[in-house]
Amino acid sequence: MAAHLRAAGIELGGTKSIAVLAEGDRIIARNAMPTTDPATTLSALHAQIVEWDRLARLAAVGIASFGPLQLKLESPGFGCILATPKPGWSGTDVASALMDGLDCPWRIDTDVNGAALAEYRWGAGKGCDSLCYITIGTGLGGGILAHGRPLHGAMHPEIGHLRLRRAAGDVFPGACSFHGDCIEGLVCGPALAARIGMDPADAPDSHPVWRRVAADIAELSGAILLTTSAQRILFGGSVAVSRPFLLPWVRTLVVEQLGDYLPFLRRDSADDIIRPAGLGAEAGPLGAIALAQAALDPAVI
């Protein structure tokens, strides 16, 4: 993408949304706001990108949204949010609301697929052919790239709702309104609050819940490596970032659990395979810009 081309990106998150303006790969302006009801949130985001387009025409727009999303072009619901636990958002036509009146190429994908693409292009996924980006915060989401492209099929990956082997003795029923003890229902922020009866940010590092969280994330990591053969699993989000001791525990457990079955996974390689995301809080906004660039040039992904 030429350095002078202006593109806008929308990161529509479950708690916070951000509109960003970029010249090439460089973000030059942003506007963050809470994600409330669809009409209020989408109207404010739309007004921002329309204003940027009025000041100087936008070359493209990228939309990275929480999901699940309908991403089949041939579907009449393309660009809409499917059934979601976020009140009032099921069925919302995100794409139409944000692109109304704008005449430029655009692309929509999940926020985690966008973040995975940003990490692949500019972050800790550079040099990889395949990777998985996991964010653990208010929810748990995962984006997968195969051959440098976001994975789509019947829908898109919904990694947070995998139901995996539980840690021995863990009887917590889970907090997911759809599946109870899926991985999101075990380790996301609200699940941790329900487990320990307090804001997880206030729980000391010595709290026994973190050992269970590490065991759950290790099960998830092993499942991803076995099913996708990802070269790297990159972790972001408040839960993973705020407790840096978790990933070393996860690596040890994954290597122990999988034994010698995967020849690429060893104690001396696990640090490179299971690691923190490189872009931090910028993965989401830059993911939206990466999607805008892909709208201009599909060869980018």
Answer yes or no: is 168 within a domain: yes
Q: Which amino acid would we find at residue 265? A: L
- 72 lies in the same domain as 190: no
Tell which of 52, 78, 110 closes a domain. 110
Answer yes or no: is 53 within a domain: yes
Residue-wise pLDDT tens digits, 141-181: 999 999 989 988 888 889 999 999 999 999 999 999 889 99
How many domains does the chain divide into? 2
The confidence score (pLDDT) of residue 1 equals: 46
Q: Which amino acid would we find at residue 7? A: A
Task: Kindly state the tokens that stand for 185.
Answer: 């229902």
Q: Which amino acid would we find at residue 2? A: A
- 106 lies in the same domain as 128: no
- 162 lies in the same domain as 267: yes
Q: Measured at the alpha carbon of residue 212, what is the angle toward residues 211 and 214, in degrees to the nearest 5?
A: 65
Answer yes or no: is 258 within a domain: yes
Answer yes or no: is 118 within a domain: no
The CATH number that applies at residue 161 is 3.30.420.40
The confidence score (pLDDT) of residue 300 equals: 56
- 99 lies in the same domain as 129: no
- 161 lies in the same domain as 248: yes
- 87 lies in the same domain as 162: no
- 77 lies in the same domain as 223: no
Domain range holding 198? 124-278
**Average pLDDT of span 132-141:** 93
- 105 lies in the same domain as 142: no
**Average pLDDT of span 110-114:** 95
Answer yes or no: is 39 within a domain: yes
Answer yes or no: is 249 within a domain: yes
What are the DSSP calls for the chain, one per residue?
--TT-EEEEEEE-SSEEEEEEEETTEEEEEEEEE--SHHHHHHHHHHHHHHHHHHS--SEEEEEE-S-B---TTSTTTTBB-S-SSTT-TT-BHHHHHHTT--S-EEEEEHHHHHHHHHHHHSTTTT-SEEEEEEESSSEEEEEEETTEE--SSS---GGG---PPPTT------BTTTBSSHHHHHSHHHHHHHHTS-GGGS-TT-THHHHHHHHHHHHHHHHHHHH--SEEEEESHHHHH-TTHHHHHHHHHHHHHTTSSTT--TTTHHHHEEE-SSGGGHHHHHHHHHHHHHH-GGG-
Residue-wise pLDDT tens digits, 220-261: 999 999 999 999 999 999 888 899 999 999 999 999 999 999
Answer yes or no: is 176 within a domain: yes
**Average pLDDT of span 290-295:** 94
> Hunting for tokens 């729980």 — which residue is that?
203
Tell which of 82, 110, 138 closes a domain. 110
The confidence score (pLDDT) of residue 3 equals: 57
- 81 lies in the same domain as 13: yes
Q: Which amino acid would we find at residue 257? A: Q
- 92 lies in the same domain as 157: no
- 130 lies in the same domain as 270: yes
- The pLDDT-based confidence of 4 (bands split at 50, 70, 90) is confident
Tell which of 66, 81, 110 closes a domain. 110
Mean pLDDT in the chain? Answer: 94
Answer yes or no: is 242 within a domain: yes
- 36 lies in the same domain as 152: no
